[in-house]
Amino acid sequence: MATDFKSIPIIDIGPLLAKCDDPKMGQDPGVAHVVKQLDQACKEAGFFYVKGHGVPETLLKEVKNLTRKFFELPYEEKAKIKMTADKGYRGYQRIGENITKGVPDIHEAIDCYKEVKPGMYGDLGKPMEGCNQWPTNPPNFKLLMEEYISLCTGMLSSTNQLLTVYHSMFS
């Protein structure tokens, strides 16, 4: 359960990622320290920022600039990729369309996920079946975002594998 905290935890996961292919990673004190920080942040704040993730700063800036350009477009342009259930809940949502605990969120979003092929997860995955929707404007949105998503999911996959190793430490 999250508790009061004074600042958002910032965790350098570099040591964790550096050891992801090392069969002796469980013996590394740097890895253990990162895992303990992640555990504490999840319990006390409920979220955290990461650094040392390996995503190039230039790519982060490009993503930020590109998404800003998209969200500055007129609603009619953004609505061309409007999120719907039949599209696997992927696409654009304007302010107030996303509801959390019965309250409309005050943000715009483009939701994209790992693409789910029909039947991939049986009946459970049926609502999420579909392909991501990408805007045609800005023109290189899809290409840049797929590169960014690939780097982030690769990092998360490596981190998840390492956290599984340490799960017993915090159970």
Number of domains in the chain: 2
In a domain, 66, yes or no: yes
Q: Residue 89's domain spans which residues? A: 56-135
Question: pLDDT per position in the chain (171 positions), as tens?
Answer: 455 667 899 999 888 888 877 888 778 898 889 888 988 888 888 888 989 888 899 999 999 999 999 999 999 999 999 998 888 889 999 999 988 888 898 889 998 877 888 888 888 888 888 889 999 999 999 999 999 888 887 776 665 655 555 544 444
Q: Give dist(CA 113, CA 130) in Å, integer.
A: 9
Query: Rounded to 5 degrees, what are φ and ψ at 104?
Result: -65, 135
Residue 130 bridge partners (DSSP):
116
Q: Kindly state the helix (H) or strand (E) to which residue 51 belongs, with its residue range.
A: strand 49-51
In a domain, 140, yes or no: no
Pair 124, 154 in one domain:
no
Please choose, from the candidates 51, 28, 42, the residue with its C-alpha nearest in 3D space to the C-alpha of residue 165.
28
In a domain, 91, yes or no: yes
Is the whole-model pTM more than 0.85? Answer: no
> Sign of the CA dihedral 110, 54, 50, 64?
negative
